[in-house]
A and B are shown apart, each in its own frame.
Chain A
Amino acid sequence: EDQVTQSPEALRLQEGESSSLNCSYTVSGLRGLFWYRQDPGKGPEFLFTLYSAGEEKEKERLKATLTKKESFLHITAPKPEDSATYLCAVLHGSGNTGKLIFGQGTTLQVKP
């Protein structure tokens, strides 16, 4: 069964305390892995797309990496404004019918 699992479910960090969020997946025909950020009461906001193992993407304090079985979202020296739920999603399928499977998210709280 195609599945995406994120860990931990919740993470509390002190400002400046670096950490990583994990997204592990078991899908057939991976076409891409996406990271989104979601603030309370809002829609998911796109962060990164990774397409192949070994690929890395960076944006400010965030860095996403991809292996054949999992992806990590590394947060370096986080600030309180990085507090949000981070969602991982895997695009799989063939032809024109690729579909996203989402993990349940990791809720990050960064305290000043």
Chain B
Amino acid sequence: DAGITQSPRHKVTETGTPVTLRCHQTENHRYMYWYRQDPGHGLRLIHYSYGVKDTDKGEVSDGYSVSRSKTEDFLLTLESATSSQTSVYFCAISSGRLTDTQYFGPGTRLTVL
């Protein structure tokens, strides 16, 4: 998985609770991404980062926030989890060039009851 780990790998939580997912990389890549994967929708970009403290929104960013204080870590926070955020979340990384390949982590399965 190209030196990418995600934690936790599985989480069950209740509606209204805050949740933070962590992505850690050992490749020193500049770009990091958070996606969600749902049946019928494929992979959709939530947020991405193009450097420490530099982040931007993707197509499904509502209800999510991110932070990147170190090159190797990218955190995704659900401020108040809802059942619609039940999904599989993938982190991806790519090096500095725009057209470089994105490599994906193993995913986190999140269930919001």
Q: Which residues of A contact B (CB under 8 A)?
A: 31-32, 34, 36, 41-46, 49, 51, 87, 89, 91, 93, 95-100, 102-105
B62 contacts A by Cβ under 8 Å: no
A27 to B4, CA, bound (A): 29
Q: Which residues of B contact A (CB under 8 A)?
A: 1, 4, 40-45, 48, 50, 56, 58-59, 90, 98-99, 101-107
Determine whether the beta carbon of B104 is less than 8 Å from that of A44: yes
A43 to B90, CA, bound (A): 7
Contacts of B104 in A (CB 8 A): 36, 43-46
Determine whether the beta carbon of A102 is less than 8 Å from that of B43: yes
Which of A46, A97, A98 has a CB less than 8 Å from the CB of B99?
Answer: A98
Q: How far is the CB of B35 from chain A (nearest CB, A)?
A: 8
Determine whether the beta carbon of A100 is less than 8 Å from that of B106: no
Q: List 14 A-B contacts (CB under 8 A).
A: A31-B98, A34-B101, A43-B4, A43-B105, A44-B90, A44-B104, A45-B104, A46-B104, A49-B101, A87-B43, A93-B98, A98-B98, A98-B99, A102-B43
Determine whether the beta carbon of B58 is less than 8 Å from that of A43: no
Which of A41, A93, A100, A104 has a CB less than 8 Å from the CB of B41?
Answer: A104
Contacts of A41 in B (CB 8 A): 107
Determine whether the beta carbon of A102 is less than 8 Å from that of B99: no
Contacts of B101 in A (CB 8 A): 34, 46, 49
Contacts of B103 in A (CB 8 A): 46
A89 to B102, CA, bound (A): 10
